[in-house]
């Protein structure tokens, strides 16, 4: 019997989840500024949705899918990425209709699943924050998207990053490049890895994405896709670069970058951490344009642009840059109950305080007053309400401002009926 978590997964415990919430909340705020709205799709999809979009010959589909047959023999898979499901939902819900604003901008946050060799920054269940914009082929959408990602990292305090871009051009440019690449790779076929040998004719662009060391050396001298862009593709890429320059967003071009998914066209990009302490999994954000994908899944001709960021890798980047995430760990009031008879009164007090919209906690373990005060201090409680058996008989409670040490007795009914006022009175500075 194995009662341990599956390989490549993690339990995210309190202490860590606060950091996740901070990252997610920062993303939500930025996305709102850019007018992206959240979408939530199922964790599993029909296998075909993913295979068709991401591509049969990619590592993701050919090796990394958590796919299975359900009880009615439907071939389904845990989602390995977010774009294909969102595109599927975009088509299925007819979000291309005239009643929706264009471009249709949406984001998602959630777990993705890939059967990979686990290591730092690479899990089998990992989490992505991703965005998609449907319906515009304007290069300004590409640039706005990349700017949004850069903004997000800046907001988190991350600065040691670089933006890497390339273009895969349109279908025609890719076909021309495909042939040039085959011509270059064929004479060297024997030296390629088994995977790359197979892909050489199936999907030669995949060879450029190989992680094999020998393959990497061979593709280093491969022809550049940028030399095969036709006029419209070149114009698009030139416009993207010009707009990045205008916005003073620094970038580098990597002519060999192709990305691990087949659906990309035109602009593709990655954002990498350059922090010294960052391990080898340094790509924290990746995406690009996917102008044929909506049609591929049965929708009308609709251009698209999106990216995804790995939350685990963002956390590693924050650690590598030694950025401290602000800890929000304080409560408005802590109730110290002295003696067993105050159990019910303590319960009523915290409930009353919470009902007024404040945060409150109390002791449940019958601990000594000193230990309770220690907890209140650890929780950074603004006020401590103390009630002992004699106070209970008199119907009063002692309220103390922990910062100013100011104390005052209130009637229990004051707390039950007008705690907001008590809170204001006790937290307005009463000393010089």
Question: Cβ(200)–Cβ(192) under 8 Å?
Answer: yes
User: What kind and span of H or E run contains 63?
Assistant: helix 59-63
* 216 near ligand ATP, judged by CB under 6 A: no
Segment 283-312, which members bind ligand ATP (CB under 6 A)?
283-286, 308-310, 312
Segment 329-368, which members bind ligand ATP (CB under 6 A)?
none
* 123 near ligand ATP, judged by CB under 6 A: yes
Structure tokens at 60: 């993701």
Min. distance of Cβ 81 from ligand ATP in angstroms? 5
Nearer CB in complex with ligand ATP: 278/284: 284
| Count of chain residues binding ligand ATP (CB under 6 A) | 20
Pairing of strands 75-78, 67-69: antiparallel
* 174 near ligand ATP, judged by CB under 6 A: no
Binding mask 76-115 for ligand ATP (x = CB under 6 A): -----x--------------------------------x-
Q: Half-sphere exposure of 386 toward its Cβ, with a 13 Å CA cutoff?
A: 17
Nearer CB in complex with ligand ATP: 285/399: 285
* 128 near ligand ATP, judged by CB under 6 A: yes
Instruction: Report the alpha-carbon angle 302-304-305, nearest 5.
Output: 170
Question: Cβ(272)–Cβ(164) under 8 Å?
Answer: yes
Min. distance of Cβ 60 from ligand ATP in angstroms? 7
Nearer CB in complex with ligand ATP: 160/406: 160
Min. distance of Cβ 211 from ligand ATP in angstroms? 8
Min. distance of Cβ 283 from ligand ATP in angstroms? 4
Min. distance of Cβ 67 from ligand ATP in angstroms? 16
Nearer CB in complex with ligand ATP: 142/332: 142
Per CB under 6 A, the segment of 25-33, 94-102, 120-128, 393-401 that binds ligand ATP is 120-128
- Report which residue's Cβ sits closest to ligand ATP: 310
What is the full DSSP assignment across 75-98?
A: EEEE-S-SHHHHHHHHHHTTTTST
Applying CB under 6 A, which of residues 110, 223, 232, 260 lies at the interface with ligand ATP? 260
Per CB under 6 A, the segment of 26-34, 118-126, 168-176, 377-385 that binds ligand ATP is 118-126
* Residues in contact with 415: Cβ distance below 8 Å, sequence separation at least 6, in sequence order: 349, 352, 353, 385, 397, 422
* Residues in contact with 335: Cβ distance below 8 Å, sequence separation at least 6, in sequence order: 346, 349, 350, 353, 360, 361, 362, 363, 384, 385, 386, 387
Residue (of 351, 352, 344, 338) closest to 390 by Cα position: 338
User: How far apart (Å, rounded) are the C-alpha atoms in residues 70 and 77?
Assistant: 10
How many Cβ atoms are within 10 Å of 219's Cβ, its own excluded?
Answer: 22
Residue set of the binding site for L-histidine? 81-83, 114, 128, 132, 259, 263-264
Structure tokens at 28: 């939500």
* 401 near ligand ATP, judged by CB under 6 A: no
Instruction: Report the alpha-carbon angle 62-65-67, nearest 5.
Output: 115
Give the helix, strand, coil percentages of the chain, each rounded to 5.
40, 20, 35
Nearer CB in complex with ligand ATP: 85/388: 85
Question: Cβ(204)–Cβ(140) under 8 Å?
Answer: no
Nearer CB in complex with ligand ATP: 209/332: 209
Nearer CB in complex with ligand ATP: 305/373: 305
Q: Report the interface residues with ligand ATP, using CB under 6 A.
A: 81, 114, 116, 121-123, 126, 128, 259-260, 281, 283-286, 308-310, 312-313
């Amino acid at each position: 019997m194995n009662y341990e978590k599956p390989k490549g997964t993690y339990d995210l415990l309190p202490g860590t989840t606060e950091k996740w919430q901070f990252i997610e909340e920062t993303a939500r705020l930025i996305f709102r500024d850019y007018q992206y709205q959240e979408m939530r799709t199922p964790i599993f999809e029909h296998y075909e949705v993913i295979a068709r979009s991401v591509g049969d010959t990619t590592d993701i589909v050919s090796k990394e899918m958590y796919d299975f047959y359900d009880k009615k023999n439907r071939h389904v898979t845990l989602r390995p990425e977010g774009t294909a499901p969102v595109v599927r939902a975009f088509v299925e819900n007819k979000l291309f209709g005239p009643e929706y604003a264009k471009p249709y901008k949406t984001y998602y946050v959630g777990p993705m699943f890939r059967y990979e060799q686990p290591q730092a920054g690479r899990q089998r269940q990992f989490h992505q924050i991703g965005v998609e914009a449907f319906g515009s082929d304007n290069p300004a959408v590409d640039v706005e998207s990349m700017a949004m990602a850069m903004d997000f990292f800046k907001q988190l305090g991350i600065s040691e990053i670089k933006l890497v871009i390339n273009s895969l051009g349109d279908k025609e440019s890719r076909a021309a490049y495909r042939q040039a690449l085959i011509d270059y790779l064929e004479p060297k076929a024997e030296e390629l890895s088994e995977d790359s040998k197979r892909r050489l004719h199936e999907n030669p662009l995949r060879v450029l994405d190989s992680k094999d060391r020998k393959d990497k050396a061979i593709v280093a001298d491969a022809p550049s896709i940028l030399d095969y862009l036709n006029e419209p593709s070149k114009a698009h890429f030139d416009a993207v670069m010009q707009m990045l320059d205008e916005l003073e967003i620094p970038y580098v071009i990597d002519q060999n970058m192709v990305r691990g998914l087949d659906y990309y066209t035109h602009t593709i990009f990655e954002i990498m951490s350059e922090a010294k302490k960052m391990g080898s999994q340094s790509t924290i954000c990746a995406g690009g344009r996917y102008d044929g994908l909506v049609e591929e899944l049965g929708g009308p001709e609709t251009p698209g642009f999106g990216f995804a960021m790995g939350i685990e890798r963002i956390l590693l980047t924050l650690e590598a840059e030694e950025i401290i995430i602000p800890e929000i760990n304080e409560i408005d009031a802590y109730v110290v109950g002295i003696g067993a008879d105050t159990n019910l009164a303590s319960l009523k007090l915290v409930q009353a305080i919470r009902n007024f919209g404040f945060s409150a906690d109390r002791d449940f373990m019958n601990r000594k007053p000193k230990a309770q005060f220690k907890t209140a201090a650890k929780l950074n409680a603004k006020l401590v309400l103390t009630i002992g058996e004699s106070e209970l008989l008199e119907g009063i409670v002692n309220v103390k401002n922990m910062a100013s040490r100011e104390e005052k007795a209130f009637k229990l009914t004051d707390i039950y009926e007008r705690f907001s006022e008590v809170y204001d009175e006790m937290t307005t500075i009463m000393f010089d």
